């Protein structure tokens, strides 16, 4: 009986390892066979994931999808976007409807440990704030006792809002919507006194108002909101690919590599650049990618600084300062492990 028990245990372990090995290359193989990446995004949020009138998606989250497509397929345009509400997003990823979720999603303990999902990094450090109509004359969130609050369902902002008002002994009336578009329309229609969301979203939603100057974002930031792409647990190879696509964007900025100069830089003798473009070092071997996977990301998408500037920074309508989203060497939080 003891030998049978050992055999059964060994067989079970073998099955587990076999299942694990099987799971490891499922997503990359599916993406390559399909010929495109299926990426879950928002239903429309300027600066992060937003379609134009022709259905072309742009934004910081969209550029993460494009970076993964460039790394895996050699073509950043090989992405199909699935618009998802906050309530729909995790189910879509868990069920395999999408390969990666890149949708202004906050990394929290519950989401990381209880949903069968892994966060692959942070592409934007955010925090929750409040937007109010100027006509109210409010200067601080501490003046909001008794306010009606427009909020999107299925987000961390609902929980943060409850905590903030409880801690400050204030009351509020939630007015809940399914999408950010519905939320801002509710605010504009006067169904609430204030709209709360991540600060970056408030600036993005503010420009959707018929008269953006009629509203102001209050100075208080009441939470930490590290936003980043998410994948399913159980596929470590895919997890590594998405994680290192993010790291490549950040390392490229640190190395001074841009979409405009990477061809010239790779002809030089900088050892860090040689490793980055796949001439030397680990190349793409550990992830079953082409050796120039990181080069393709920068050539087609740009580095993290380029992504930030054109979508939410100085080159965009949002004009948000880099702040904590600057590189670590310039006083920010953006730091990626070395590529060697």
**What radius of gyration do the chain's Cα atoms show?**
22
Q: Detail the DSSP E strand segments found in the chain.
A: 37-41, 50-51, 57-58, 79-83, 100-101, 117-119, 124-126, 128-133, 147-152, 172-177, 194-198, 215-217, 225-227, 230-232
Model-level pTM? 0.88
Alpha-carbon span 170 to 269, nearest angstrom = 61
**Cβ contact 69:78 at 8 Å:** yes
Q: Convert the pLDDT of each residue in 96-125 to its tens digit.
A: 999 999 999 999 999 999 999 999 999 999
**Angstrom distance (rounded) from CA 63 to CA 102:** 9
Mean pLDDT of the chain: 91
- Comparing C-alpha atoms, which of 152, 131, 148 is closest to residue 195? 131
Q: Name the residue among 208, 297, 218 with its Cα closest to residue 251.
A: 297
Token digits of residue 120: 């692959």
Question: Which pair of tokens denotes residue 68?
Answer: 């993964």
Please state the rounded mean pLDDT for residues 53-82: 98
Q: What is the pLDDT of residue 24?
A: 59
Of 45, 79, 51, 59, which Cα lies nearest the Cα of 308?
59
User: Span 75-87, mean pLDDT?
Assistant: 96
Residue 298 to residues 18, 170, 230, 309, Cα–Cα distance (Å): 36, 48, 21, 15
Interhelix angle 236-255/60-73, nearest 10 degrees: 110
pLDDT of residue 156: 87
pLDDT in tens, 215-232: 999 999 999 999 999 999
Encoded tokens for 101: 């979720």
Q: pLDDT digits over 226-285, tens only? A: 999 999 999 999 999 999 999 999 999 999 999 999 999 999 999 999 999 999 999 999
Domains and CATH numbers, the chain: 125-224 (3.40.190.10)
């Amino acid at each position: 009986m003891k030998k049978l028990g050992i055999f059964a245990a060994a067989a079970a372990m073998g099955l587990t390892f076999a299942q694990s090995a099987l799971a490891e290359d499922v997503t990359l193989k599916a993406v390559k066979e399909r010929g495109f990446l299926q990426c879950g995004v928002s239903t429309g949020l300027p600066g992060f994931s937003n379609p134009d009138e022709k259905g072309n998606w742009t934004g910081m989250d969209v550029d993460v999808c494009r970076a993964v497509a460039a790394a895996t397929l050699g073509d950043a345009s090989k992405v199909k976007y699935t618009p998802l509400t906050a309530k729909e997003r995790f189910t879509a990823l868990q069920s395999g409807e999408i390969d990666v979720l890149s949708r202004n999603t906050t990394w929290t303990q519950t989401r990381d440990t209880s949903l069968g999902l892994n966060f692959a990094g942070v592409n934007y450090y955010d925090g929750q704030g409040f937007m109010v109509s100027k006509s109210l004359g409010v200067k601080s969130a501490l003046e909001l006792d008794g306010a009606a609050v427009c909020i999107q369902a299925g987000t961390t902002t609902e929980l943060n809002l409850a905590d903030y008002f409880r801690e400050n002994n204030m009351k509020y009336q939630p007015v809940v919507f399914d999408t950010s578009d519905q939320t801002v329309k509710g605010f504009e229609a006067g169904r609430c006194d204030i709209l709360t969301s991540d600060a970056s979203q408030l600036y993005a939603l503010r420009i959707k108002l018929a008269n953006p100057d009629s509203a102001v974002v209050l100075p208080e930031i009441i939470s930490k909101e590290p936003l980043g792409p998410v994948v399913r647990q159980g596929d470590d190879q895919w997890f590594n690919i998405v994680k290192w696509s993010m790291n490549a964007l950040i390392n490229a900025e640190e190395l001074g590599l841009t979409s405009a100069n990477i061809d010239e830089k790779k002809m030089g003798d900088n050892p860090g650049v040689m490793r980055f473009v796949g001439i030397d070092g680990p190349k793409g071997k550990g992830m079953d990618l082409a050796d120039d996977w990181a080069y393709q990301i920068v050539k087609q998408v740009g580095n993290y600084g380029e992504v930030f500037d054109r979508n939410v920074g100085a080159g965009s309508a949002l004009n948000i300062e880099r702040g904590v989203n600057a590189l670590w060497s310039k006083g920010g939080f953006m730091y990626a492990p070395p590529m060697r």
